[in-house]
A and B are shown apart, each in its own frame.
Chain A
C-alpha cells in the first residue's frame, strides 16, 4: 500500500492506561486495513487489532530516553498508548496512520474491501432483511388518512429525503412542492410515526424559511392537512427542538420558526436542545474526563458536570417524552423540526418512538427505527462520524446521544427491552467502523449512487444472525414493562454515566461478574433441560408401553450441570487483579503476583485470546470468521510466531 511508510516496528511497548507500569512488549504492524500489535511473550499470542477507519487521532508525544510515545484515539473510545523505540519510526507510523485513517474518497472505505466468506446471493439477501415498507404497513399505512407519495421518487423535491414518503391524504403535489420551497433543503413536513390506536402522528421537517415575516400558503395548508389526518384532534403541536435564542437568530438568515398566528390551530413549543457544535465539545470534554489517569472522585464529578453531557442527554430525553406523551396521552399529532431536521429531529423522533411503541424496543425494531429515522431521513452519517477526511465542524456525536438515551431507558426499565447493552455498543462501533455499508454516505441518494447495496454487506443481518449475543435475559414480551408507553423519570439522579461505552476498553473498571451473562447461561441451560425433560418423558412412556419385552436400546443420558453453561457467567477467571491502590510506593509491582498465584485461575490460552480480542476493536471479533478472510495470512494459523508473518504483512 502506498500509504504505509513502515509496515513493521519491533520492540514496541503498549502501555496500560490504568497502571502505565504494566506494559506489554511486541511488534507493531501496519496493514492496509488494520494496525496490529502482536505481543511477543513466550507461549502466548496476544493481538490487538485496530481498524484504520476507527482511528480518530494519532498523536506523537515528546520523545524521551525510553522511546517515543504515540497515542491513538479511536472513535469507539479505545485509547492506545504505544511507545516506539525511535522517533523516526514513530514519525513514519504517525504519518501513515493519519493518511490511512482519513480516506479521501468513499472508494477507500473498508466496507468496499471487506469480503467475508459469503456468496453473492446471500450478500444480496442481507440487504432484503430489513425494509421500511414493512414497518409502515405495521403502523397500518397507507390508509384513508396517510398515503405514500411519489413526489420525491427521483430526489427532486428534497435530495436529502428518501424516495418513499408518507404524507396526509389531502396533501396534493402542489402543496407538497410549495411547502418544500418554504423549508430548509426542501425538507417538507412528512410522516415519521403513526399511532394506529388514536391516529396521532409524529411528523418531521426542517425549519421554515419564515425570516421575520415571510409566509407560505402551501406550507400552512400542509400543516392543516397533517392536522386533518388526525380526525379526533382539533390542534397539533409544532415543536422546535432548538433553544429559542438559536431559532430567533436563524430568522436573520431568512429561516426561523412558525408564527402561531399564521398557522391555524397549532401550539408552538421550543425544546432547547443544543446544536451539533455544543454536543461535539461536550463529548470531547467528557472523554477527557474518562481518560484522566487515576482521577479523584471530585475530578470525575466536576469534569462530568462541566462537560454538560448528561444535561444534553436529559434534554433529548425530555424532548422525546414531550412528544411521546402528546401522541399517547393527548392523542395530538406533533410536527418536529430543528434547523435542517436531520440531527435533533432524528434524535427526538426516534426517542419518542422508543417510548411509544414496544416494537422499537425489540432487536429488530431498533434496527428498523435507526433505518427509518436516521438512515432514510438523511442523518449525515459520513459527515457526523467523519468517515472521510472533511470539515471537522461537521463532526458530532448525535447518534451516540440517541443510543445513550436508549441505554438510560434500559437502566430504568430493565425488562422492557429485548436487546442488551452489548447490542447498542456493537451498533455504535459499526456506525464508525465503515465495515458495513449501512451508514456510509449522508443520505439515500448518495447511498444509491455509491451502489452500497450492490457492493457491501449489511450490519443488520449480521446482528440478526448473532442475536443470541444481544438478547436481554430479563425481557419477556408479555411483561408489564414491555407494554405501551414508557414513563421514565427525568430527575437528574436517574441519569448515569455510561461506563460501558465511554470506558469500554478499561476492562478493570467494569463489574467482574455479569448478572446478565449469568442469567443468559442459565436460560440456555434451562432450554437444554426442557429438551431433556421432553425426551425423558417420551422414553418413560415408551418403556411403560413396552413393559417387559423389547430391550431398551437407549440409555438415559446422564444430566450433569453443564460446566460450560456456567463458565460464561463467571468472568472472574479473567484474572481479577488488584488495581494500583498504592499511589506507587510498594516496592514490587502491585499488579503482578511474583509467583503463580493459587487464587487465580491460570488462563488457558484460548481464553486469554478471547479477552484480548475484546480489547481490540469490536469489528474484528464480532465479525468472526468472515472478517478473517481479508487478512488470511494470520487467520489461517494464528499460532504461528510473529516472525513468519512478516512476509505476509509487507506483501499486503
Chain B
C-alpha cells in the first residue's frame, strides 16, 4: 500500500502516553496508513486510536535519548508521547507529519473505511434537494425546482437542483448567474410558512466600478416580492468593504436599480480574521497562568465572542425581517459561501421548529452548508494549532455551531438534540471516517464518487443507539419562533469545545446524569401508573356487580 513508504518506523515499544484526565499508559505505538495507535495490550486500559487527519501539528523535544512528541489535534486535544530512542522518535514524528498532511483527498481515510455497523438508511440519500422541494410544494406553488445547474456549469458550487421563483425561466437564471460572484445567483434558502415570506441567498452582484446592472437579476429577486411589498437585502459586509469590492468587480445592489429593496450592511468577519481569532482563543484557554486579568484580556483580544455576537445578531435581524416585518430577505456577502450561510442557517434555527430536531438539523447542515457549497475541505484543513501558513482555513462552521449552542443554552428544552451532537459535528467536520464533509461542493463530491465510495455520517448517526446518545432529555416540541438574547451577558464561552481538555467535566457530567435519571424515573413511574390503571379498570369490569347494567 502506498502509505508504507511514508511510515519509517511502524512500531515502537515502551512508549508512554499522557492524555488529559486519563491515567498515563505505557505500551506499543503503531503507525498505520490512517491511524496512530497506542496499546498497552492490557484489558483494562483504553487504547488510543487517533486519525492522522485529526492531527493539526506536532512538536518534538528531546531530553537525552528520550524523545517526546506533543500531538495537537484538530479537536483541540493535546496529547504527549514519550518515545525511547532518538531515531525512533524522529522517524515517528516525520511519519506522522507526512501522513497527517496528505494532499490528495482520495487518500483520506473515508475511502478506506468499512462500516462495522448495520446501515439502516443510507445517509447519502437522506437529504436530496428533490425531497426538500416536496415539502415546499406542500406549502406553496410559487416556486419550482430548476435543473439549470445539472452539469454544474452555471454555478460550480451549487447543487444540480435549486429552488427558484416559478415565473423565472432557466435563461433568466443563466444571465443572472453571470452577474453574481461565482455564478451564485439568488436561490431559495427558506420559506416561512406562517406568512409566506422567503429568505434567499446568493453571491455579491458584479456591479464593478461603473455600476453594471442586470435586468434578469432584478427580475429574479423582484419575483419573490408580493405586490407593493419591500424586501431587505442583508449584506454581511460593512458598506466600506462592499464599496471596496467594486474595484475588484464585485459590489452591492444600488437603490436606483433595486428600488423595492432596502439594503442593510452588517460587519461579519472574513475567513482569515476568524482563523486568527480561533488561534488566539485556544491559546487563551490553554494559558496556564492563574491571572484573571490575563485571561479576560486574552479572551477579549481573541474577539471570538464578538464574532459569535455579531453572527447571531445578524441572523436574528434576518429572522426579524421575515417574521415580524413580513418582508422577504436576500442575504449575501462576497462569495456567499461563508458568513451568508451562517446567517441563513441560524435564522432557520430561530424561525423553524423543524430545524431544531435531530433530523431537521442534519437536513439544515446538508441544505445550507454542504449543498450550498461551503468549502469544508478548505476551511477545515487546519484547526487552531497549525503552524503552516494559513490558506483557506477558517472556523466558519465552528462559529455556526457555537451560535447554535448559545441558542440551545437559552432554550434548553426546545432542541431535540443535545450539545454532544454539536460537538460531534465539529469533530467530524475536521477529521472523520465518513465522507460527508470531504470536498468543497456537490460537484466535487460527485467527481470523487463519495456517495459510492464512502459512508455518510448520517448513516451512522441515524441509528437508534446513536440517536439516543444525542437526544436532549429535556426536549419538548416548541412551535414558536425563539428569539435569543444577544447581550454580552447572555453569551457564554462554549466550554464543551474550548475547555473540554482543560478542565475536568466530571461534576457537570454527573449533573447531566442526575437530570436524565430524574426524567427517566418520572417516565418509568408514568408507565407503571398507567399499567396499574389498566389493571384496575380490568378488575372493575370483571366485577360482576359492575357488569350487570
Measured CB to CB, the residues of A under 8 A from B are 18, 290, 294-302, 304-305, 308, 310-311, 314, 412-416, 473-474, 476, 479-481, 489-497, 499, 503, 506, 508-515, 518-519, 522-523, 525-526, 529-530, 532-533, 536-537, 539-540, 543-544, 548-552, 555-556, 558-559, 561, 566, 569-570, 572, 576-579, 581-582, 585-586, 588, 590, 593, 598-600
Contacts and interface: CB of A to CB of B under 8 A. Distances in A.
A56 to B, nearest CB: 20
Given A529-B529, A551-B543, A578-B324, A509 B510 contact: no
Contacts of B313: 581
Contacts of A533: 525, 528-529, 532
B300 A540 contact: no
Contacts of B300: 297-298, 301-302, 305
Contacts of B194: 598-599
B413 A513 contact: yes
Contact of B546 (A508, A530, A552): A552
Contacts of B504: 489
Given A481-B507, A518-B474, A536 B532 contact: yes
Contact residues of B: prevailing secondary structure = helix
A600 B479 CA distance: 10
Interface of B: 194, 264, 285, 289-297, 299-300, 303, 305-306, 308-309, 313-314, 316-317, 319-321, 323-325, 409-414, 474, 476, 478-483, 485-493, 495, 499, 502-504, 507-508, 510-511, 514-515, 518-519, 521-522, 525-526, 528-530, 532-533, 535-537, 539-540, 543-546
Contact of A599 (B294, B412, B481, B546): B481
A457 B320 CA distance: 49
Contacts of B539: 540, 543-544
Contacts of A416: 507
Q: Is the interface of A mostly helix, strand, loop or mixed?
A: loop
Contact of B518 (A18, A493, A495, A526): A526
A369 to B, nearest CB: 22
Contacts of B482: 512, 572, 576
The 6 closest A-B pairs by CB, nearest first: A492-B295, A300-B488, A414-B511, A305-B296, A301-B300, A536-B532
Nearest to B537: A556
B529 A515 contact: no
Nearest to A546: B543
B320 A581 contact: yes
Contacts of B503: 489, 491, 493-494
A187 B526 CA distance: 59
Given A300-B489, A532-B529, A414 B507 contact: yes
Contacts of A302: 297, 300
A511 B411 contact: yes
Nearest to A569: B413
Contacts of A582: 317, 320
Contacts of A479: 510, 514
B487 A530 contact: no
Nearest to B284: A493
Nearest to A416: B507
A304 B493 CA distance: 15
Given A491-B502, A581-B316, A311 B293 contact: yes
B306 A508 contact: no
A570 B295 contact: no
Contact of A526 (B291, B319, B525, B545): B525
B519 to A, nearest CB: 6
A493 B305 CA distance: 14
Contact of A413 (B507, B525, B526, B528): B507
B141 to A, nearest CB: 23
A552 B537 CA distance: 11
16 contacts: A290-B489, A297-B306, A297-B309, A305-B292, A493-B285, A496-B492, A509-B487, A513-B413, A513-B414, A522-B519, A540-B539, A548-B543, A551-B545, A552-B545, A556-B536, A590-B324
A407 to B, nearest CB: 15
Contact of A493 (B502, B507, B546): B502
